[in-house]
Amino acid sequence: MFKEGQKIFYVDTRDGIIETARFIEKTSDGTWIRIDGHAINTFVYSDYQDKSLFEDLTQAETGLENYKINLKSRLLKNNFFIKDILLRLEKHEGKLYVDVVSEILNNRP
């Protein structure tokens, strides 16, 4: 896989960004990395390694695009996830806010 101190690329699937990082070590549960500019180490669970850790930028960009495509496909196929988000949003922001967001989503191209 990677060597200690090797420069790698980390795809942050939460924020949809690619960051450079340094490989620290691999354990049975995942991989420790240090993202450049961060003071603390980051742990990537083994089931996320294939979609989060890459040797070069081109692979990372392709991995991020594939993740976005799969996420969009899953969201379009299963509206329960979006409905759950809207329910949580209603609790925090109110029904009017949810109605406006739903209207925007229903009129998307």
Measured distance CA(13)–CA(59) in Å, rounded: 14
Q: What percent of the chain has pLDDT over 90?
A: 60
Residues 35-86 have pLDDT tens digits of 999 999 999 999 999 999 999 999 999 999 999 998 888 777 767 778 888 8
Residues 41-53 have pLDDT tens digits of 999 999 999 999 9
Q: What is the pTM of this model?
A: 0.74
Sheet holding 42-45, edge to edge: 42-45, 30-35, 17-26, 7-12, 53-54
| Dihedral sign, Cα of residue 55, residue 52, residue 50, residue 70 | negative
Measured distance CA(9)–CA(2) in Å, rounded: 11
